Structure 1
Amino acid sequence: MPKRGYHHGNLRQALIDAALILITEKGPTGFTLSEAAKSAGVTPAAVYRHFAGREDLIAEAARQGYEIFVEVMEKAFNDGKPSALAAFESTGRAYLWFAREHPGHYISMFESGISINHSPELADVAGRAWGVLEKAAGNLSQHIPAEKRPPAAMFSAHIWALSHGVVELFARNSPGRQSPFPPEDLLETGIGVYLRGLGLIPQDK
């Protein structure tokens, strides 16, 4: 009987898929290449035909995650048009959705310690992901007078940090941390406070 992973002729992807499950269950440093190989149904030696080590395997999981992330963010941005505000808010919600639906990818991308400069391919797709949020921030910030307008990169960095914080603290079941509010509400109200401070939405009365 052929080993799992070979019958589709795509051992490399079988190893990545196995690693994603292990990353979700044990974290990026909680498994060995031997465990990934066993989960994929191959010998440990077979891993080294495709990856130099665990870091390379996780980096490829991160790269594939960013590819999905870019698609999710671009769809959210485009679905929010023609309103710059709706497009901007939609990308924030998409961040939460991605973290929940693709935990292995998310951890590989943001919690593994793998640099986005690990490879040119990873750096490129990570840059494209950042570019979607920066574009949404840039479009929205056009409604602010030029002399008061923050750089789009700063604007998007603030929102990315807020989204990431909500995900890390409340959307991924962090031990001992519970919020009386849904993560979506926390993110929406947090963004609302930020945008009111910039004068982009009316103050509450």
Structure 2
Amino acid sequence: MAKRGYHHGNLRQELVDACLRLIEEKGPTGFTLSEAAREAGVTPAAVYRHFDGRENLIAEAARQGYEIFGDLMEHAYAGGKPTALTAFESTGRAYLAFARKFPGHYIAMFESGISIQSSPELNTASSRALGVMEKAATDLSQHIPADRRPPPQMFSAHIWALSHGVVELFARGSPGTKSPFPPEDLLETGIGVYLRGLGLIPPDA
């Protein structure tokens, strides 16, 4: 592929797209900035007009992922109403759907080691996305007696951890981790057990 110069379309986005392809293929630490440049069809020098280094490029991929994730979470939350329970359950399912549909973004966000504090833009995008789950937890927790009500941040963190565990172990093909049940069923039943423990759904539901 012939190397292209700086002025050719949206080079910044082409580099992000190349980064996402390489992340899916080699993992977040398995490629160099020069490989990303080659994948995008430009010289390595052209990359530095937009990104300081590989981590900066991955951080932008993560930021874009959080924007997509936030949109999906907000859509799931609104579409899961009219009840707080269905809205909350919808946000959990959206997590799994996102990981499956956008694996490169997911890895950049959660497996690359990039801190969400690495830039104000990344922090803002991640806070919006994860804030949707906390809002859903806040709404649902109002149905728990005050003396037994966990803080919404803890409530949402539990579901986030459960969702993340199902994705990592069973939805992304981790070696040696097989389950006779689909990831969707594992997540749904796991959330059900958790919510029953809080008295939010009856034992026979």
Q: TM-score normalised to the size of structure 2?
A: 0.96
Aligned residues with identical type, % of pairs:
79
Per the TM alignment, residue 152 of structure 1 is displaced from its structure 2 partner at its CA by 0.4
Aligned equivalent of 1:157: 157
Aligned equivalent of 1:124: 124
Give 4+ residue runs of structure 1 displaced > 2 Å after superposition.
Answer: 1-8
Aligned equivalent of 2:178: 178
CA distance, structure 2, for counterparts of residue 24 and residue 65 of structure 1: 14
How many residue pairs get aligned? The number is 205
AA aligned to 1:120 is P
Aligned equivalent of 1:91: 91
Q: Which sits farther off after the overlay, 2-11 or 106-115?
A: 2-11
Aligned equivalent of 2:24: 24
Q: What are the superposed Cα offsets for residues 125-149 of structure 1, whole Å, 9 maximum, x if unpaired?
A: 1111111000000101110011111
Structure 1 segments unaligned to the other structure (5+ residues): none
Q: Say if 2:112 is the partner of 1:112.
A: yes
Aligned CA distance change for structure 1 residues 5 and 87 (closer, same or farther; 3 Å): farther
Per the TM alignment, residue 3 of structure 1 is displaced from its structure 2 partner at its CA by 4.9
Q: What are the superposed Cα offsets for residues 148-200 of structure 1, whole Å, 9 maximum, x if unpaired?
A: 11010000000000000000000001112111000000000000000000000
Q: What are the superposed Cα offsets for residues 41-68 of structure 1, whole Å, 9 maximum, x if unpaired?
A: 0001111111000000000000000000
Per the TM alignment, residue 7 of structure 1 is displaced from its structure 2 partner at its CA by 7.2
Per the TM alignment, residue 118 of structure 1 is displaced from its structure 2 partner at its CA by 0.4
Aligned equivalent of 2:66: 66
AA aligned to 1:142 is Q
Aligned equivalent of 1:188: 188
CA distance, structure 2, for counterparts of residue 97 and residue 8 of structure 1: 34
Q: Say if 2:57 is the partner of 1:57.
A: yes
CA distance, structure 2, for counterparts of residue 182 and residue 7 of structure 1: 47
Q: 1:123 is paired with a residue of what secondary structure?
A: helix
CA distance, structure 2, for counterparts of residue 146 and residue 8 of structure 1: 59
Structure 2 segments unaligned to the other structure (5+ residues): none
Per the TM alignment, residue 204 of structure 1 is displaced from its structure 2 partner at its CA by 2.9
Q: 1:116 is paired with a residue of what secondary structure?
A: coil
CA distance, structure 1, for counterparts of residue 8 and residue 143 of structure 2: 52
Per the TM alignment, residue 8 of structure 1 is displaced from its structure 2 partner at its CA by 5.3
Q: 1:118 is paired with a residue of what secondary structure?
A: coil
Aligned equivalent of 2:147: 147
CA distance, structure 2, for counterparts of residue 56 and residue 130 of structure 1: 22
CA distance, structure 2, for counterparts of residue 5 and residue 187 of structure 1: 47
- Asked if the contact 1:63–1:122 (Cα under 8 Å) also holds between the matched residues in 2, the reply is yes
Q: What are the superposed Cα offsets for residues 7-27 of structure 1, whole Å, 9 maximum, x if unpaired?
A: 752101000000000001110
